[in-house]
Structure 1
Amino acid sequence: MDSQELQELSVNNQSAIVPIAPEGFKSGFVAIVGRPNVGKSTLMNHLIGQKIAITSPVAQTTRNRLQGILTTSEAQIIFVDTPGIHKPHHELGKLLVQNAKTAIKSVDLVLFVVDSSTDAGTGDHFIFNILKHLSVPVILGLNKVDLQPKNYQFIDDSYADLIADTDWSTVKFSATTGVGTEQLQQALIENLESGPYYYPPDLVTDQPERFIIAELIREQILLHTRQEIPHSVAITIEKMEETPKITKINAAINIERSSQKGIIIGKKGSMLKTIGTAARKQIQKLISGGVYLELFVKVEPQWRQSRIRLAEFGYQVEE
């Protein structure tokens, strides 16, 4: 590639080469919105071909506005995986919903993901009423088609009725099996305008490595403790040392109540060991060389209710 066809961009404080987009190339920012646990993070991971967003059977997994980057020969799509829009019950919840609404206002296209294994509910109607006033295109994505019952027509009809007075297009797919995701990807590209490369073609996220590592640890806590420690946990990477052969990571698991400490640690440290082993395997896929992960537990009472603690743990209001 000719040097005149390249430009330099700073990504995570490092210079990276970004090509000049050819004629007809499309690009833009796409917000993935929907109720908690409809498969938004699973979908983004599938589309970009790499795990950058954590997933969990427990609703309300996504917290930060995570950006995943999909680059093809004809387009670059920057996905904004927003927290599930819901009725908040604490300061963290209020912040997440506010940040999701902010994300919607600053993108080129919105993908409204719903769970097509069940008919449209009050949560879907609530989000629809937020989105219907937008000036940018909206695509309704009916996820989980692999879980639809045999008599699914009434479900599809409920969503058709929901968007009847709009010009939104609809795509059915399964983020888990991949069925229909190629058609979804093409629909997204068709709704984007011509634009430049915003990031280097080989980049899959704009988030720093420490953030992804902290999220992978939090995912394992959600998976192994389920309802006992739903979402009152935050991870901070206290120390990270990298050598050519091994990366040593010290991470704190911050919880709200002393009673939760025993659940996280488990009998003779068994749960903490299980979480650490599973998280290390996921982290190993992210970075080269060996990984040494040390976890310890800290009690931070009512951190989800404190704006100061929220900021310390990386949760801030986005303008």
Structure 2
Amino acid sequence: MSADEQQPFVALEHSGLCAIIGRPNVGKSTLLNALLGEKVSIATRKPQTTRHRILGVLHQEQAQVVWVDTPGLHARGQRALNRELNRAALAALEEIDVVLLVTRALEWGEEDERALAALANVSAPVILAINQVDRVADKRQLLPHIERLSELREFAAVVPISALRRRNLDRLQEEVVTRLPPGPPLFPHDQITDRDVGFRLAELIREQLIVALGDELPYATSVQIQGFERGGGVSKIAALIWVEREAQKPIVIGERGKRLKKVGSLARREIEQLLGEQVHLELWVKVKAQWSDDARALRELGYGE
């Protein structure tokens, strides 16, 4: 057996799972990507961009951190999709070693309270990461804000950060790593995420849909990869974009197909960066009636996996 094959069974000083929890749109996915130095979770300015629990694996010489990115916990929305997002986020707290609660600097509201309440019975250490401190003009406001939040729970540590600017992430990472137990790596040294390439392709397309559609159809679309072939330095990808109503198709396609072409062009660039080769991407738009409120349709589209 080779050294590479043996590596997963060699004990490390620190090895375990850290769940990244918080309300929608506080920068959890941006933080995950910054910690890994690679894009494994899509991120936009729209709340609830993340719809699945995604693992990102950070490899160090004597430590392995498995970051668990989660959908934002939210109180509003009773559709089956909303319930599934909350379920996925809460499921991430099971058998976890450390929890990272992410908030936005100088903000604290109902959905932050909901995220904190979800940790009431969690015995794992909870680290509070206060994100987007780079947007605070008067840094003197941060200390009283940190003091107020520190009274809400006995946090293992409180770390002000900027995920976008990658500020203070070394300290945040250190606070997490030192609280992980010793043990063998949970993933091979060359694996950076638990998600297969098909999932990542679909997410990159969905990311560009969210950006292109703005406020028109922020949550009514989902993407499925129908075909993926590689050969001769070119990847051929066919993907279906699902909407909920017939009237939504022309919104996604745009006048003379311009919007869909733009989505395809931008997504192709992202996919080429991921795959490291030329990409031929074909997109179609179809209707799956009320898929976001249909438990069976959600399973067919990969939710709950």
CA distance in 1, matches of 2:250, 2:2: 60
Q: CA deviation at 1:98?
A: 1.1
Q: Which residue of 2 aligns with 1:14?
A: none
Q: Which residue of 2 aligns with 1:175?
A: 163
- Establish whether residue 97 from structure 1 lines up as the match of residue 86 from structure 2: yes
> How far does the alpha carbon of each residue in 1:109-149 deviate from its partner, in whole angstroms, 9 at most, with x for none?
11000011x33212112221221321111111111110124
Residue type at the aligned position of 1:235: V
CA distance in 1, matches of 2:56, 2:223: 21
Q: Which residue of 1 aligns with 2:141?
A: 152
Q: Please list, as runs of the form range in 1=range in 2, the aligned pairs for 1:222-233 lying within 5 A after superposition.
A: 222-233=210-221
- Establish whether residue 58 from structure 1 lines up as the match of residue 46 from structure 2: yes
Q: Which residue of 1 aligns with 2:301?
A: 313
**Alpha carbons 1:52, 1:205 under 8 Å: kept:** yes
> How far does the alpha carbon of each residue in 1:238-262 deviate from its partner, in whole angstroms, 9 at most, with x for none?
1111113211000000011222211
Equivalent residue for 2:152, pick from 162, 170, 174? 162
Greater than 6 Å deviation, 4+ residue runs: none
Distance verdict in 2 for CA 1:47–1:167, change over 3 Å: closer
CA distance in 1, matches of 2:35, 2:104: 18
Gaps of 5+ in 1: 9-17
Q: Please list, as runs of the form range in 1=range in 2, the aligned pairs for 1:58-207 lying within 5 A after superposition.
A: 58-87=46-75, 88-116=77-105, 118-150=106-138, 151-153=140-142, 154-163=144-153, 166-207=154-195
Residue type at the aligned position of 1:63: R
Equivalent residue for 1:302, pick from 275, 290, 301? 290
Residue type at the aligned position of 2:148: S
Q: Which residue of 2 aligns with 1:270?
A: 258
**Alpha carbons 2:241, 2:286 under 8 Å: kept:** yes
**Alpha carbons 1:29, 1:108 under 8 Å: kept:** yes
CA distance in 1, matches of 2:57, 2:200: 14
Q: Which residue of 2 aligns with 1:260?
A: 248
Q: CA deviation at 1:294?
A: 0.2
User: Does the residue aligned with 1:131 lie in a helix, a strand or coil?
Assistant: coil
CA distance in 2, matches of 1:158, 1:214: 41
> How far does the alpha carbon of each residue in 1:29-53 deviate from its partner, in whole angstroms, 9 at most, with x for none?
1110000000000000011110010
**What is the RMSD of the two structures over their aligned residues, measured on CA atoms?**
1.6
- Establish whether residue 49 from structure 1 lines up as the match of residue 37 from structure 2: yes
CA distance in 2, matches of 1:46, 1:21: 27
User: Does the residue aligned with 1:227 lie in a helix, a strand or coil?
Assistant: coil
Name which of structure 1's ranges 81-90 and 40-49 shifts more when overlaid on structure 2. 81-90
Residue type at the aligned position of 1:155: H
CA distance in 1, matches of 2:61, 2:264: 39
User: Does the residue aligned with 2:223 lie in a helix, a strand or coil?
Assistant: strand
Equivalent residue for 1:213, pick from 201, 204, 221? 201
CA distance in 2, matches of 1:141, 1:288: 34
TM-score if structure 1 supplies the norm length?
A: 0.91
CA distance in 1, matches of 2:257, 2:179: 51
**Alpha carbons 1:120, 1:158 under 8 Å: kept:** no
> How far does the alpha carbon of each residue in 1:261-302 deviate from its partner, in whole angstroms, 9 at most, with x for none?
111111111100100000000000111321000001001110
CA distance in 2, matches of 1:5, 1:278: 40
